[in-house]
């Protein structure tokens, strides 16, 4: 087994609160094991450009409570080309990087696989506010983004109540409606609209009219970002039909920042420590996941495939290299997620009064 002397850590793709906690955990867990750590700035772009610097415990002191990522993040199309990949590998050789912990989303994991296949063992950690890594029950940043979203909707509710208004709120989640679903439940929203489940627009508008007739003054409709500009077009329709003054708000990137919650800090720390443990045990091409309260790992190819299965985007041959048992477990995971989303969606309707 390879003797690890130096681990690189990077953050890539969209940033997420709690990434710093994961970087800190990687740094400290490596140090405890007598392994050096280099910080790779600007994700894979920085790896190609040699933007790497030694870090140690003192450099990560205090970062656990800071949002964003102090290693910065970047999207790097050049890295996806063989030439870019070779530049990245040259940086690893030059700095003696024996393995990398890559924190990000599915694109980041694809890059980690490409590096692993070219001799640089990598472990992925799911850092994305969208909670859209099907193989993991949660992702770093989701809990904080949800908390921020709820705080902001609560603020809108106050002013809607004062002025007898409706607010259609678009919340983050390009590919997954989790933030929409859970924030809708937590704020007592009158309806939630997500990409995953078809909705009845007329029924939602009628619900607002009925609730208004019953004396209700304020209304919140949560719409997931995945539906494009739908929320913006819905607001005037609600106003026209119900006579309730209706505004549209888009929270966008503001919920990507902020102080990470306890849950995100704890999970990021567990995942960072686990990633180092896996690398030092000679493992690679894995993504650290949380499943049923435990920190586990899955092959990256499994995690990417189960994501495609969940989104109905499997291509011919995608399942060919998996065992029957693996395919069954993927199907079970997808079914679990689908049911979970349906349960949350139905709950919003059940308590909309």
Query: Six-digit token pair at 343?
Result: 């349960």
Catalytic residue status for 130: yes
* 131 is a site residue for ligand ATP (CB under 6 A): no
Whole-Å CA distances, 276 to 36, 143, 188, 207, 350: 11, 23, 41, 52, 44
Query: Binding string, 173-212, against ligand ATP, x = CB under 6 A?
Result: ----------------------------------------
Cα(103)–Cα(212) distance, rounded to whole angstroms?
Answer: 47
If one asks whether residue 104 binds ligand ATP (CB under 6 A), the answer comes out as yes
- Is residue 79 a contact point for ligand ATP (CB under 6 A)? yes
Binder to ligand ATP among 31, 64, 75, 326 (CB under 6 A)? 75
Which span (1-9, 71-79, 218-226, 237-245) binds ligand ATP, by CB under 6 A?
71-79
Question: Can you tell me which of 7, 10, 11, 13 binds ligand ATP, judged by CB under 6 A?
Answer: 13
- Binding status of residue 128 toward ligand ATP by CB under 6 A: yes
From candidates 11, 20, 51, 76, binder to ligand ATP by CB under 6 A: 76
Binders of ligand ATP in range 147-176 (CB under 6 A): none
Query: Residue 190 gets which letter from DSSP?
Result: S
Distance from chain centroid for Cα 289: 12
Catalytic residue chosen out of the listed positions 36, 98, 114, 130? 130
Can residue 80 be called a binding residue for ligand ATP (CB under 6 A)? yes
Tell which one of 7, 9, 10, 14 touches ligand ATP (CB under 6 A).
14
Q: Is 283 in the site for ligand ATP (CB under 6 A)?
A: no
Minimum CB distance to ligand ATP smaller for 194 or for 208:
194
* 143 in contact with ligand ATP (CB under 6 A): no
Contact 103, 10 (CB under 8 A): yes
**Do strands 6-11 and 99-104 pair parallel, antiparallel, or not at all (unpaired)?**
parallel
With CA atoms as reference, report the closest residue to 157 among 247, 261, 257, 234: 247
The answer to whether 23 touches 39, Cβ cutoff 8 Å, is: yes
Residues of span 27-46 touching ligand ATP by CB under 6 A? 44
Q: How far is CA 109 from CA 120, 155, 275, in A?
A: 13, 37, 13
Question: How many residues contact ligand ATP, by CB under 6 A?
Answer: 17
Buried b vs exposed e over 156-185: b needs ≥16 C-beta within 10 Å? bbeebeeeebbbbbbbbbebbbbbbbbbbb
Closer Cβ to ligand ATP, 20 or 76, answer by number = 76
Rule CB under 6 A: choose which of 36, 42, 98, 106 binds ligand ATP.
106
The CA angle 71-108-74, to the nearest 5 degrees, is: 40
Q: Report the residue number, 110 or 237, with the smaller CB distance to ligand ATP.
A: 110
End-to-end Cα distance, the chain:
61
Nearest to ligand ATP of 75, 87 (CB atom): 75
Q: What's the gap between Cα 252 and its chain centre?
A: 14
List of residues contacting ligand ATP (CB under 6 A): 12-14, 44, 75-76, 79-80, 104-108, 110-111, 114, 128
Residues annotated as part of the active site: 130
């Amino acid at each position: 087994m390879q003797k690890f002397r130096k681990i690189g850590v990077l953050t890539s793709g969209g940033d997420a609160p709690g990434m710093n906690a994961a970087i800190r955990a990687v740094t400290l867990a490596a140090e405890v094991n007598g392994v050096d750590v280099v910080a790779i700035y600007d994700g894979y772009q920085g790896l190609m450009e040699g933007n790497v610097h030694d870090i140690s415990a003192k450099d990560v002191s205090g970062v656990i409570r800071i949002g964003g990522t102090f290693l910065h993040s970047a999207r790097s199309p050049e890295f996806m080309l063989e030439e870019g990949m070779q530049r990245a590998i040259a940086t690893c050789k030059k700095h003696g990087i024996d393995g990398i912990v890559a924190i990000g989303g599915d694109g980041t994991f694809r890059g980690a696989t490409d590096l692993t296949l070219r001799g640089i063992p990598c472990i992925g950690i799911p850092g994305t506010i969208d909670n859209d890594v099907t193989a993991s029950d949660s992702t770093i940043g989701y809990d904080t983004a949800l908390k921020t979203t709820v705080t902001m909707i609560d603020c809108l509710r106050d002013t809607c109540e004062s002025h007898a208004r409706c607010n259609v709120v678009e919340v983050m989640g390009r590919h997954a409606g989790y933030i929409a679903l859970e924030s809708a439940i937590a704020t007592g929203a009158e309806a939630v609209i997500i990409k995953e489940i078809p909705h009845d627009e007329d029924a939602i508008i009628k619900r607002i009219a009925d609730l208004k007739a019953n004396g209700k003054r304020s209304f919140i409709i949560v719409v997931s970002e995945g539906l494009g500009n739908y929320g913006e077009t819905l607001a005037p329709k609600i106003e026209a039909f119900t006579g309730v003054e209706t505004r549209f708000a888009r929270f966008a990137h503001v919920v990507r920042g902020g102080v990470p919650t306890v849950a995100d800090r704890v999970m990021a720390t567990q995942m960072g420590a686990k990633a180092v443990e896996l690398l030092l045990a000679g493992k690679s091409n894995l993504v650290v996941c949380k499943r049923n309260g435990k920190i586990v790992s899955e092959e990256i190819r499994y995690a990417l495939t189960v994501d495609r299965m969940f989104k109905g985007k499997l291509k011919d041959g995608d399942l060919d290299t998996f065992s029957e048992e693996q395919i069954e477990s993927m199907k079970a995971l997808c079914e679990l997620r689908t049911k979970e989303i349906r349960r949350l969606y139905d709950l919003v309707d059940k308590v909309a009064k």
